[in-house]
Amino acid sequence: MIQMILLSVTCLLILSGEVYGAPKKRKTYSELKSCDLGNLAEEIASYDTVVKDIIDYAVTGPFKGKTYNELAKFVDKFGPRPSGSQVLEDSIDYMIELTREEDIKDIITEEVKVPHWSRGEEKLTMLEPRVKDIALLGLGMSVSTPPDGITAEVIVIRNFTELENIGENNIKGKIVLYDPVFITYGKTVAYRSQGASKAAAKGAIASLVRSIAPFSINSPHTGMQTYEKNVTKIPTAAITLEDADLIRRIITRGEKVVLKLEMTSSYDDKVSRNTIIDLKGRERSDSLVIVSGHIDSWDVGQGAMDDGGGLFISWAVPVILQRLSLRPKRTVRTIFWTAEEVGLVGAYAYEKQHRNESNNINFIMESDEGTFAPLGLAVGGNQEARCIIAEILKLFQSINASTLIEEDSPGSDITVITSKGVPGASLYNDNSEYFWFHHTEGDTMNVEDEQELDQGTAFWTAVAYIIADISVDIPR
């Protein structure tokens, strides 16, 4: 079952460009065709007072600092929350109780079978031309090395074309190190996700990848990789930018680099849960506006940025609306996705279980690329849908969050649903440093900013409220 899910994930990510590097279509709204919404534009403008009230409540009022403080308590208590771990399940229970304390009662969980990959001992040592310990993080689902490890010469590969053009005799029995130039995450991450299988097909006995990041302080970045069928599974891990540069320089000078790699890991299946929180609509409770973030994380850092921030601004939406007695026409649903990091597993399970209800989803949103200063939304949908969302975003000029980015597949988990034709959006925020800390020990509360989280909370809540309350559905 898990293997089938991962294959489906691979296919979806190829289409979305999220893993395999197909460029996404991104435009600011100013580049789109002009819109004529008629009376709807006036209706949307009438929400300016509600938007101001929500912003005031979250940024300067009683909710000021709450998102940051609750996030800090959460990640300090639980730390990293890997798929299949008991700490993940404990953190889900915690979020349920935290929500109940806000007198929100419509909370359910749905069980999901998830992969549980657990990292063991990991060590990488340069033996030639000098002895040096090298920082290492195994990639998700990597197999272990033999008990005595793997000792082999390294060959450095810049890209897959170079790999294809090198004869197997030059790769067989060696460790392949991928050292790609970082362009964007979407374009470069293929070397992490596909690298092991492509190297194994040429006879390599292990693969390493230069961390998929533009910046490093000797910090390796982990992440998911998937083995292809009918290819030997070889150990695979990430090293730092600094050590990748070091190895390349030595080899370029004509010297041989020999490494000893030692890795252990375990793998089994566990049961986790998606968490669903509903603030029922006052008129059309069957029509859903969904806000979401994933609750799991990799096993390093605290998972504060990826995706604790997205989790908590989505948690805050029904809480703030409940506190302000703002009950929209449609139901606002918050979802905490489980097992996102290992292949959108929770999202796939939700889509399958709720497939017959997909027509009830009016709009779906996800925050999973940081919760820095909000700038607007990256929106997927047809032209009319984007026109409506752009009109709503005009109400957020006071916090500089009125930009619409046109994107074919916004978000990560929600691509499972938007690929079926449901309109949706991801948070567009000032995340220029996001991939500095992504999937590393550096993903901690130090990356988060209290004021920016307040703004993100206000923005996320007010946008969801307006979409859930306006007279028209978002068109498909």
Task: Clarify whether 441 is annotated catalytic.
Answer: no
Q: Indicate the burial class of 364 (C-beta count within 10 angstroms; 0-12, 13-18, 19 or more).
A: buried
Which two structure tokens, joined as six digits, stand for 102? 């806000």
Round to whole Å and give the CA distance between 273 and 160: 38
> Taken in order 404, 410, 411, 415, is the CA torsion positive or negative?
positive
The 3-state secondary structure of the chain reads CHHHHHHHHHHHHHHHCCCCCCCCCCEEHHHCCCCCCCHHHHHHHCCHHHHHHHHHHHHCCCCCCHHHHHHHHHHHHHCCCCCCCHHHHHHHHHHHHHHHCCCCCCEEEEEEEEEEEEEEEEEEEEEECCCEEECEEECECCCCCCCCCEEEEEEEECCHHHHHHCCHHHCCCCEEEECCCCCCHHHHCHHHHCHHHHHHHCCCCEEEEECCCCCCCCCCCCCECCCCCCCCCCCEEEECHHHHHHHHHHHHCCCCCEEEEEEEEEEEEEEEEEEEEEECCCCEEEEEEEEEEECCCCCCCCCHHHHHHHHHHHHHHHHHHHHCCCCCCEEEEEEEECCCCCCCHHHHHHHHHCHHHHHHEEEEEECCCCCCCEEEEEEECCHHHHHHHHHHHHHHHHHCCCEEEECCCCCCCCHHHHCCCCCEEEEEECCCCHHHHCCCCCCCHHHCCHHHHHHHHHHHHHHHHHHHHCCCCCCC
Q: Which amino acid is at 365?
A: M
Round to whole Å and give the CA distance between 118 and 87: 13
Round to whole Å and give the CA distance between 73 and 266: 30
Exactly one of 18, 70, 122, 340 is catalytic; name it.
340
The Cα-based distances of 181 to 158, 188, 209 in angstroms read 8, 8, 11
Look at residues 432, 446, 452, 459 and name the one whose alpha carbon lies nearest to residue 373: 452
Look at residues 146, 230, 241, 228 and name the one whose alpha carbon lies nearest to residue 195: 228
Active site residues: 340
